[in-house]
Amino acid sequence: MTTAPPAAAPPARWDEQRSFDELGRPLHDVTFCVVDLETTGGSVADGDMITEIGAVKVRGGEVLGEFQTLVNPHTSIPAFIAVLTGITNGMVADAPPVGAALPAFLEFARGSVLVAHNARFDVGFLRHFAREQDLVWPDFEVLDTVRLARHVVTRDEAPNHKLSSLARVFRSGTTPNHRALADARATVDVLHGLMERLGGLGVHTLEELQGYSSKVASAARRKRHLAEHLPHAPGVYLFRDDSSRVLYIGTSRDLRRRVRSYFTASEKRTRIGEMVQIATSVSAVECATPLEASVRELRLIAEHKPPYNRRSRHPEKVTWLKLTREPWPRLSLVKRVLDDDADYLGPFSSRAAAESSLAALHEVFPIRQCNDRLARQPRRSSCVLAEMDRCLSPCDGSVDPQTYAAVVRQLRDTLLRRPDDVVDLVHARMAALAEQERFEEAAHHRDRLADFVRAAARTQRLTALTGCPEVVATRREDDGRWAVHVVRHGRLAAAGVIPAGADAVAYVDGLRATAETVLPAIGPTPAATAEESERILRWLESPGVRLVDVVGEWACPVRGAGRHAATPTPLSPTTVAP
């Protein structure tokens, strides 16, 4: 596969001005608004009200401003709350109501990251009363010091993660006393203490702080520099160990951002966490389009067989269902397609699915199931299948060649063009079994039918594409540019993006001229793996794709298996197994 060389073009908008989320915001540049509330109780659902709001705005360790106001709750403050906070009914009698205090606070906090100790409580109250007052809630990002502390402060240091306990651990200059401003000041000291500790673990941006989890090992977190040289572009990334062995391969529309995520709490897979511990480098293959990246990923996985990839490592391990060409044809399971003029169904990714499809066909077509070759005029005794009327029994002369050939022609038509005979008969059998409340047997037939229909639809779709010497298609991508792909015999031969202002026709002609030469494979076998051809098909069938040129005939049978594969085949709704 070739990729069109990059041409001079104005950078895409996301290249000119990357989002903060992609680059990461250094903590010393972030403005935090640390807020604390005092209330009449613990739940807005119970009608509790705010009695005080306190907040401190800080950036880079410097206090930018403070906000404090009592709030008239227009309800009596419970005695135990008054004792706890020191806020009495008399103190709030002349205070502004929440309708006046809250807009002032929101204006003070605007443009900052909200921080609170147990943010769910404080922010929950604020959001509730903003809705109640018909105020627009700013799109605040929220940081919870309790959640962070649970990952940073051990039980040996503090008996719990209450604000008073953490204030002692981090030697806060303010002692929390259940008054909003004092508790907000103490929370500022706790926040700075947490950030200082996490800085030693490689947490330097707001995004890393928000995603921090003690489940991410320090050694893995320190490896985030492995992503720094990667581009913000689609492509394939390869994790390698100290001997350059490929451990894991993946693909992304943004290589740098995706690889960085492996060193944060967003990565929760145990196996991948183990892989990151072993990895010492990450290399990348930049691609012109996401489809090219997806295809290259498949090819690289098949080539390197990385131990931490579960799928696509062995595309060669497939099974085909073959209708043989011999005097008395039969169905058999084979590992590869030969140039023998036989008809093939598949490929199946598992032998079990192939055997299931084989059983579904044998239910309908009584051709022989023995594995050896028969002479044109066999002289053998019949088997038990003949006695059960499940085989025409050519071995003992029970059927003439013309009658047997007619059944085989019907079977071949089912495999290649229309599976209606199998679908109708199995549906009838399922209905009869369900009528007798033999639900497990009916479900067994349903699963066999589903395996066969999927395989037939797959074969017909792959055969249609792989029979075309060339298909050229284009689609406008999210960034407004046109992606072009050249597909030859089901294999991606070239990919590129038309530069802004370029002559589209000339660009496509140049891409076709430099595309990989692809020779047809035998029978329905794609020139690539079946998985690659299917990914290409999904792209070709996606909304917005425009065909530039098709060499050959790209079409599937009108009455093919695809129309059955798109429709589930459940048991009758009135007879669904319990």
Eight-state DSSP code of residue 135: P
| Residue (of 275, 147, 158) closest to 217 by Cα position | 275
| Residue (of 272, 279, 278, 288) closest to 227 by Cα position | 279
Q: How far apart are alpha carbons 305 and 501 in whole angstroms?
A: 42
Q: Residue 31: in which H helix or E strand, if any? A: strand 31-39
Q: How many CB atoms lie within 10 A of CB 4?
A: 20
Residue 178 annotated in active site: yes
**SS3 sequence, 264-322?**
CCCCCCHHHHHHHHHCCEEEEEECCCHHHHHHHHHHHHHHHCCCCCCCCCCCCCCEEEE
Contacts 24+ apart (CB under 8 A), 248-251: 248/272, 248/275, 248/279, 248/306, 248/308, 248/309, 249/297, 249/300, 249/301, 249/304, 249/306, 249/309, 250/297, 251/290, 251/293, 251/294, 251/296, 251/297
Sheet containing strand 2-3, strands side by side: 2-3, 491-498, 482-488, 470-476, 546-551
Q: Where do we find the tokens 């990450």? A: 282
From 178, 204, 362, 444, active-site residue: 178
Q: How far apart are alpha carbons 264 and 259 in whole angstroms?
A: 10
Give the end-to-end CA distance of the chain in Å, rounded to a whole number: 52
Which residues are part of the catalytic machinery? Answer: 178
